[in-house]
Amino acid sequence: MQTESRGSDQEQEIGDEPMQQGENTAQDASAQELGVSAASFTTYYTWRANGVIHPVNFSNANVKANSRVFVNISEYAANAQDRFVGSARMAVYNIAPYNGGFRAWVEISWGSPLNVRFDVFVDP
Top-confidence residue, 81 or 28: 81
Domain ranges within the chain, ordered by starting residue: 50-123
Contacts of 82 (CB under 8 A, 6+ apart): 76
pLDDT value at residue 29 = 63
Residue 30 has pLDDT above 80, yes or no: no
pLDDT value at residue 35 = 81
CA pair distance 99, 97, nearest whole angstrom: 7
Strand partners, 84: 75
- In sign, the C-alpha dihedral spanning 75, 78, 80, 81 is negative
Give the model confidence (pLDDT) of 45-63 as tens digits. 999 999 999 899 999 999 9
pLDDT value at residue 36 = 84
Top-confidence residue, 38 or 116: 116
